[in-house]
A and B are shown apart, each in its own frame.
Chain A
Amino acid sequence: MLDLERILKILIKCKVEFIIIGGFASIIHGASYVTKDLDICVNFSTENADRILKAITPYHPQHRMHPKGPPLDETPESLSKYKNIYLHTDLGEVDMQGEITGLGKFEDLINRTIEVELYGKKCKVLDIDALITTKKALGRPKDMQVILQLEAIKQAIDEQNNQ
């Protein structure tokens, strides 16, 4: 099972630059949704790739999408060439994306985040408008319900702010 608390604390301790996206971002905004993996947008710079490796290597990361699940065996330089990486670790499944459909790369997203406190640590989460934008851009049938949820939540927030 995904140990979200430990994953987040390790990423923060190792100073990994990341933004929570996907299912967990939807949950944080209030959607009713269940997911067993953590999706994050990361900066795939060599420096951040080095921090990523330091954070996750002790937890035996393996390529999840590969049929044989080979271990992640990269240097910061080689990892920085990735666009996306889907991992199984001892702490659960972690998907890292360097670019988000409809929004752009990590540096384009940094101003489209909110900061929330999770397990006593401040984490960046994709804001609700950006989350709706990317889910619509993906055009996946499985996202339809969560898009409707997020739109309803957004309207409720807007109404509250206008009161």
Chain B
Amino acid sequence: MKKKNYIKNSAWRKLEKYGVDTSIIRLNLERTPHERVVEHQKILKFYSTLKAAGKKYYAGLGKNIKDFD
């Protein structure tokens, strides 16, 4: 699937107008379903790392982190 097909497509225009970065979706479509899931799990792991760092930071400041999730 070439990029120009996405651009002329009305659904893709609608998505871009909504403010979505369609490049990630285009990249996903080049991947297999398994690769998409593996990429998602990498992002989730990164998210967990960021969350843990944030918790540690706020704990150091003595802030209430009860609702950090």
Residues of chain A contacted by B12 (CB below 8 angstroms): 152, 155-156
The answer to whether A118 touches B37, judged by C-beta atoms less than 8 angstroms apart, is yes
Identify the closest chain B residue to A31 (Cβ): B25
The answer to whether B11 and A159 have CB atoms under 8 Å apart is: no
User: A19-40, CB under 8 A of B: which get 1 and which 0?
Assistant: 0000010011111111110000
> Could you tell me the distance between the alpha carbons of A148 and B40 in the complex, rounded to whole angstroms?
19
Are B44 and A152 in touch, CB under 8 angstroms? no
- The B24-51 residues at the A interface (CB cut-off 8 A) are 24-25, 28-29, 31, 33-34, 36-37, 40-41, 43-45, 47-48
Q: Does B61 contact A (CB under 8 A)?
A: no
The answer, among A4, A29, A32, for a CB contact under 8 Å with B20, is A32
B18 at the interface (CB under 8 A from A): yes
In the complex, the answer to whether A30 meets B29 with C-beta atoms within 8 Å is yes
Identify whether the interface residues of A are mostly helix, strand, loop, or mixed. Answer: helix
Evaluate contact between B14 and A2: CB separation under 8 angstroms. Answer: no
Residue A119 is within 8 A (CB to CB) of chain B in the complex: yes
Verify B11–A119 contact, CB threshold 8 A.
Answer: no
A34 to B47 CA separation, bound complex (whole angstroms): 10
| B9: Cβ under 8 A from any A Cβ | yes
The reply to whether the CB of A80 lies closer than 8 angstroms to some CB of chain B is no
Residues of A within 8 A of B67 (CB): none
Q: What are 8 A-B interface contacts by the 8 Å CB criterion?
A: A2-B44, A27-B40, A117-B33, A118-B33, A148-B14, A151-B11, A151-B15, A156-B12
B-side residues, CB < 8 A to A, are 1, 5-6, 9-12, 14-15, 18, 20-22, 24-25, 28-29, 31, 33-34, 36-37, 40-41, 43-45, 47-48
Chain A residues in the interface with B (C-beta under 8 A)? 1-2, 4-5, 24, 27-36, 116-119, 125, 144-145, 148-149, 151-156, 159-160
